[in-house]
């Protein structure tokens, strides 16, 4: 079975600053893959490379067997045009720390927008699907509300519904709860749990160790642009082998 995501020697530099220093990892279909580590360790940068929001400096990244951002001819890689990248990006949903909702649109319109604009879905079909998705994230009663009328947790759940509206095969979550008040975190994690149960392939950059332990199939600890330790969440989180992992977990657990 093809890996859903495969990274081979992925490097990312900004000028002289190396942010990713050779990341090798695989994410299987239907897997919930959690990335943990201190701020500045390269987790979010790696996530952004997966949908080519950042271009890798060296190495290869593929999603569902296809190279991200490039095509191979012989032994050379050629960068795809922006329009070709955008086509591939449709299959990858991304939820950011900040919700990035359109402030002038209702929750319903936010969820309907991309399928209509990008996929040419009719308004009636987009509306029906958007209402189902808002129901799925527990916000059926907020369809007519604008982002300013919603709590941070509700906005984040709308953002998840919006990403799901494109029917992605892969969902990327970049610290989806870190901007939320503590009492709002649970609702968002519950939605993510539901997605995991439905078999969605997910890569989650998170500080929520409980979520990583309960829901994650694999956890990777990154520090200073490299994978330090990886394995089953219970093993990595309760019995870390590496000093850097132990030091990090002693501060967050």
Report if residue 149 sits inside a domain.
yes
In tens, the pLDDT along 152-189 reads 999 999 999 999 999 999 999 999 998 888 888 999 99
Backbone angles phi, psi at 142, to 5 degrees: -110, 15
Report if residue 4 sits inside a domain.
no
Report if residue 165 sits inside a domain.
yes
- In this prediction, residue 184 carries a pLDDT of 87
Q: Given a cut of 80, is residue 1 above it in pLDDT?
A: no
In tens, the pLDDT along 194-226 reads 999 999 999 999 999 999 999 999 999 999 999
Report if residue 68 sits inside a domain.
no
In tens, the pLDDT along 95-152 reads 988 888 999 999 999 999 999 998 899 999 999 999 999 999 999 999 999 999 999 9
- In this prediction, residue 146 carries a pLDDT of 97
- Written as six digits, the tokens of 38 are 């201190």
In tens, the pLDDT along 227-237 reads 999 999 999 99
What Cα–Cα distance (Å) separates residue 83 from each residue in 69, 87, 222, 227, 252?
Answer: 11, 6, 32, 32, 42
**Confidence tier at 77 by pLDDT (50, 70, 90):** confident
Check which CATH number belongs to the domain holding 218 and give it. 3.40.50.300
SS3 content of the chain, % helix, strand, coil (to 5): 40, 25, 35
What does pTM read for this prediction? 0.94
> ∠ CA 225-29-187 to the nearest 5 degrees?
80
Report if residue 135 sits inside a domain.
yes
Report if residue 178 sits inside a domain.
yes
Report if residue 16 sits inside a domain.
no
Backbone angles phi, psi at 225, to 5 degrees: 80, 10
Report if residue 150 sits inside a domain.
yes
Work out how many domains the chain is built from and give that number. 1
Which residues constitute the domain of residue 191? Answer: 29-55+83-250
> ∠ CA 44-46-48 to the nearest 5 degrees?
70
């Amino acid at each position: 079975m093809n890996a859903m995501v495969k990274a081979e020697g992925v490097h990312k530099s900004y000028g002289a600053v190396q942010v990713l220093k050779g990341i090798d990892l695989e994410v299987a279909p239907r897997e919930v893959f959690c990335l943990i580590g201190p701020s500045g360790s390269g987790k979010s940068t790696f996530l952004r490379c997966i949908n080519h929001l950042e271009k890798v400096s060296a190495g290869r990244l593929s999603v569902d067997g296809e190279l991200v951002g490039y095509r191979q001819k012989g032994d050379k890689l050629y960068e795809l045009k922006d329009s070709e990248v955008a086509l591939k990006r449709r299959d990858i949903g991304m939820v950011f720390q900040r919700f990035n909702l359109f402030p002038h649109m209702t929750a319903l319109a936010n969820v309907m927008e991309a399928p209509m604009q990008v996929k040419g879905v009719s308004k009636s079909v987009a509306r029906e699907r958007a209402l189902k998705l808002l129901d799925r994230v527990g916000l059926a009663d907020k369809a007519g509300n604008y982002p300013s009328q919603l709590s941070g947790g509700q906005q984040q759940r709308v953002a998840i519904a919006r990403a799901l509206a494109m029917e992605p095969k892969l969902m990327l979550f970049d610290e989806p709860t870190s901007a939320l008040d503590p009492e709002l975190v649970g609702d968002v994690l519950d939605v993510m749990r539901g997605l995991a149960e439905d078999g969605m392939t997910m890569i989650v950059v998170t500080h929520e160790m409980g979520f990583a332990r309960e829901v994650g199939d694999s956890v990777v600890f990154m520090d200073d642009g490299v994978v330090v330790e990886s394995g089953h969440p219970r093993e990595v989180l309760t019995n870390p082998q590496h000093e850097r992992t132990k030091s990090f977990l002693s501060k967050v657990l």
